Amino acid sequence: MKRWAGLGMFVCGAVLSACTQSNVANNQDAAAGAASAPTGDSFVSKLPDNAPVVKVATTGTMPPFSVLDQYGNLTGYDVDVIRAIGEEEGFRIEFVKDPFSNLFNSVESGKTDLAISGISYKPERAERYALSDPYFFNPSAIMYKDNNLNIQRFEDLKGLHVGAMDGTIQYEKIKDANIARELTATRSTYLLFQQLVQGNVDAILQDYPLLKETANNHPEQKVKIVPYQDQSDPTSQQVIVMKKGNNALQAKINDGIRKIKADGTLKKIDDKWKISVEQDMATPASASATP
């Protein structure tokens, strides 16, 4: 500062005072702007500080269900859902970030109490874990971009190189069907999308909302999305996973789901995240063309 002042006295002369005041004002404005910038989680619980805590495993990598905002805070449809349930049932939420493939082990080992992150119902999961009642219609879908392909249903994947995320119902279905020429597994939806746009696979499989969100975030990539499930398929329903035998927590979660459905909270979360699967599927053009 002394060196600047000396130089200023030599160069600025009589305007030194004005230069200094302007510099200080600018520094104060910058500091005030930095202090006022929102960096923390905006969610504020109405529960007392000594309320019970439920540890929740989620990915933070599956928009729009579970994702990190620009400040590193967890946000998303499922984040809002489990927080709303906690507020209804009287427990605070403590999130633990884990890859999707680790969510189930996290619950089973007791590291966390439950997992929520775009998890679909599967009979095998119902046998091994305690599952909640369904709270969201989440159909599986196919994404492709080659105009020479005409994929309208799951069976049209025969003979193609298909990508799916490891541990998902889509991966298990295409593997069990044994119709793909080759199957590539990835650990995230974004990596799946990269495989497609780089031409490494012909088509990818994932939850419809995840594929739609990815396509909306990359409008420069002209892709087509084709759902291949309807609500009559139990595996199209999204659920929350808990440890087998944790009947008390399962009952609370199901009670919370019923409450947020009944009082309109779940509908508000739907509207906030603009997830309209039923509306999209009712419009043939949006189901099979570029979103």
Question: What digits encode the pLDDT tens for the residues 137-175?
Answer: 999 999 999 889 999 999 999 999 999 999 899 999 999
Beta carbons within 8 Å of 178's beta carbon, 6+ residues apart: none
Least confident of 17-31, 169-183, 246-260: 17-31
Q: What rounded mean pLDDT belongs to the chain?
A: 86
| Class in CATH terms, 53-137+237-278 | alpha beta
Domain with CATH 3.40.190.10 in the chain: 53-137+237-278, 140-227
* % of residues, the chain, pLDDT over 90: 77
The answer to whether the beta carbons of residues 199 and 207 sit under 8 Å apart is: no
Place of tokens 């600025």: 12
Count Cα atoms within 13 angstroms, Cβ side, for 251: 4
Sign of CA dihedral 134, 188, 128, 84: negative
Tell me the C-alpha distance between 37 and 158, whole Å.
Answer: 52
CATH number of 140-227: 3.40.190.10
pTM of the predicted structure, to 2 decimals: 0.77
pLDDT tens-digit map of 87-140: 999 999 999 999 999 999 999 999 999 999 999 999 999 999 999 999 999 999
Tell me the C-alpha distance between 251 and 87, whole Å.
Answer: 15
Tell me the C-alpha distance between 15 and 12, whole Å.
Answer: 5
